[in-house]
Amino acid sequence: MHTDSSCSTQLIDGDGVFNVTGVYTFIKEVKLEECGLSYAVVSIMGPQSSGKSTLLNNLFGTKFREMDAFKGRSQTTKGIWVARCAGIEPCTIVMDLEGTDGRERGEDDTAFEKQSALFALAVSDIVLINMWCHDIGREQAANKPLLKTVFQAMMQLFSPRKTTLMFVIRDKTRTPLENLEPLLREDILKIWDSVPKPQAHKETLLSEFFNVEVVALSSYEEKEEQFKEQVASLRQRFFYSVAPGGLAGDRRGVVPANAFAFSAGQMWQVIKDNKDLDLPAHKVMVATVRCEEIANEKFSHFMENEDWCQLEEASQSAPVTGFGKKLSLILQSCLSEYDTEATYFDEGVRSSKRQQLQEKLLQLVQPAFQDVLGHLRSGTLENFKEAFEKALNAGEGFSSSAHSCAQSCISRFDKGCEEAVIEQANWDTSKTREKLQRDIDDHIDSVRAAKLSELTTLYESKLNEALAGPVEALLDGANDETWPTIRKLLKREAELAVFGFSNALSGFEMDEETRNKMLSDIEIYAQGVVEGKAKEEAGRVLMRMKDRFATIFSHDSDSMPRVWTGKEDIRAITKMARSASLKLLSVMAIIRLENELDNVEKILSVALVDSTNNTASSKSITTVDSLASSTWEQVAPTKTVITPVQCKSLWRQFKNETQYTVTQAISAQEANRRNNNWMPPPWAMVALVVLGFNEFMTLLRNPLYIGFFFVVYLVAKAMWVQLDISAEFRNGALPGLISLSTKLLPTGMNLLRKLAEQGQAPSADSNPQARVSSSVGSSSFSSLSSTETISNNTKDD
């Protein structure tokens, strides 16, 4: 790399190869990229060894290689070289072109000459034509082929810009410049007229393409000091050459300094390929490429921007406060940098690429924006749920709470969206807002459904509690007032539930039809509780009938247990108990929630109870057949709980299962009757007294007999009590005799053992016989007492 900015760099070598690396290095060294449009390009053409490099070095302070006069005239500059003018503002780049008419190139000279001339005209603002003074006015002057080349090259430019042609007359003679200039201009016009032109430019004047300037310089070798003074004076004209009225042309096709290298390379490639050079199109192409490069560079810088990376990362986890403002600043900074670097390029291209850059940036940041909106939406929804729940818990009305909380949360969401939206994009947040609104509405609907379900469940449970137990108790004690009482109970509880439920629903905004339906459902539910309980109890009707039968049959009117003494009318009691059970069956057979008359009880009574009476055979058959049906007369099937056929079957089963109880009662009566008749008839007792008078008198005359028989009586009484003879004969004479035969010997042995134990006990009485008598007497009485106690307890049981 060159350390001195005035050092030259070969732009195009002698073989026509563009030095891409060298020119980019040169631009960086001279800091051309910083100049924007404030720079000028000067090129010089002329015959070989005409002192072009010497002129440039003295005029611009460059260091182009100069010809060594002592070595003879030869080609010094090969290709095209470039350098920065020293000390001239604005930045001026000068190009030294290979001389024309050189013997080194031979036949190839014309091709390269035309290419380099066209390149110089396309790139340069000012073109210096170096020519000898003695060629002015000569038909065969060395500069004529050069001028033809320049003018022909100008015709190849599709839409050329106006370039300044400065003719530098070298080695001026004594002839004044005022006299030389008209001759030179005349020669230039002749050459211009002689150059073939396209049809569009047949009548075009030279002045429309070129600003022609003429200057004259003394001989460098003969009058060096004068030459340098003239060059110094000429140098002043190149200061601020691009300013209005400056030396440079109209600069219509100028490209920004940072695109100079690319533009020059593309121009040379087009020229080398022998194609027409369309400068406007080239300008657009250069602008397109460079603006795209700048846009890509800024896009890459944006992706690596630390603030953006932090913002993107933060947006993935939670809402970002001031997201839109922060991101707008980052985007604006990026776009401003693009505008700064692309400001000198074609406006249409620049704007188009800026728009593309902005679209790419917006595509890049939009996911983060959507994340922020998503977090904002979810956060708002959660806030709504919390606020809504608190409002409901505080006792506020459902609809008012839902409306106020939803409106507040939507307003906060709108404010958050305003903070999240960026200035560079007109993104629509309405879809997210609509989704939030739908989510809020869905939540309100779900909470409404849950609350309504809770209310419905609450009042249903109240109805169930208020109806189930009483209805069960009423059905258990079934009578003529059972269903009227149930109807009153149902009406009262249903009205209370509907009133409370209606008040509870007042906080919910709903149409009248829905409200009425819900209230109607509560009434239907209450009715369903009663019907369900009736059906449930109907499933236990047989058990209820048996319980009622047992209660009435086994207890008297004072609810005391019956003792079957033989005086009770078992037939009447049985009929009464069965009638009560039949009443229970008739009450449970159908549901009577409407106050409608029915003949179910009459049908059952005639078919099941009265059929047992001694009636005509045909009448009995007809009555029984009235139960051979699955429906009751004048009763809807939906109100039927127990069908006639089922009633008949239940009654048959009921009679079979209660028959044993009746049989037991009859057997108990008979046994009690037998127990009460063990004494002999009265006539037998009179005969016994009459016939046994003598034996009775004998006992009175001999007291020992009385003592003996008394002892026998005590032993017999003890045996009677111990064996419980009366209880044994309750089940019949034969079973009693068999049972006594098995108990007689063990009981007698037990009494003798007790007598023996008491006889062996010591006594203070001196009379042994009295002690034995006393022992036997006391033992007998104790045995008798204990036996009587046991017997009495057994009877009570």
Amino acid making up residue 292:
E
Residues 6+ apart with CB under 8 A from 161: 249, 250, 251, 252, 253, 254, 279
Tokens found for residue 383: 């806030």
Tokens found for residue 657: 């299962």
Give buried/exposed letters for 327-357 (b at 16+ CB in 10 A, else e). bbebbeebbeebeebbebbbeebbebbbeeb
Give buried/exposed letters for 448-487 (b at 16+ CB in 10 A, else e). beeebeebbeebbebbbebbeebbeebbeebeeebbeebe
For residue 241, say whether it is annotated as part of any ligand binding site. Answer: no
Tokens found for residue 458: 């609450």
**Closest to 757 measured CA to CA, from 774, 784, 779:** 779
Residue 43 CA: distances (Å) to CA of 33, 84, 148, 406, 655: 20, 12, 17, 75, 137
For residue 430, say whether it is annotated as part of any ligand binding site. Answer: no
Q: Check the CA dihedral 757-763-769-773 and report its sign.
A: negative
Residues 6+ apart with CB under 8 A from 566: 669, 670, 672, 673, 676
> Rounded CA gap, 142 and 191, in Å?
13
Tokens found for residue 244: 């209005």
For residue 51, say whether it is annotated as part of any ligand binding site. Answer: yes
> Rounded CA gap, 786 and 795, in Å?
14
Q: Which secondary structure element, helix H or strand E, spans residue 682, and what is its range?
A: helix 682-691
For residue 47, say whether it is annotated as part of any ligand binding site. Answer: yes
Grouping H, G, I as helix, E, B as strand and the rest as coil, residue 68 is coil
- What does residue 795 show for φ and ψ, rounded to 5 degrees? -65, -40
Other CB atoms within 10 Å distance of the CB of residue 127: 24
Per DSSP, the residues of 591-628 read ---S-----HHHHHIIIIIGGGSS--HHHHHHHHHTT-
- What does residue 234 show for φ and ψ, rounded to 5 degrees? -65, -35
Grouping H, G, I as helix, E, B as strand and the rest as coil, residue 781 is helix
Residues 6+ apart with CB under 8 A from 413: 376, 377, 380, 433, 436
For residue 507, say whether it is annotated as part of any ligand binding site. Answer: no
For residue 46, say whether it is annotated as part of any ligand binding site. Answer: yes
How many CA atoms are closer than 13 Å to the CA of 153, on its beta-carbon side?
25
For residue 759, say whether it is annotated as part of any ligand binding site. Answer: no
> Rounded CA gap, 286 and 280, in Å?
10
**By the 8 A CB rule, do 665 and 564 touch?**
yes
For residue 566, say whether it is annotated as part of any ligand binding site. Answer: no
Q: 262-267 — which CB contacts under 8 Å span 24+ positions?
A: 262/286, 262/289, 262/290, 263/123, 264/11, 264/18, 264/23, 264/119, 264/123, 265/18, 265/20, 265/23, 267/119, 267/122, 267/123
Residue 659 CA: distances (Å) to CA of 578, 620, 656, 662, 663: 11, 22, 5, 5, 6
**By the 8 A CB rule, do 282 and 263 touch?**
yes
**By the 8 A CB rule, do 451 and 398 touch?**
yes
Annotated binding site for GTP: 46-53
Annotated binding site: 46-53
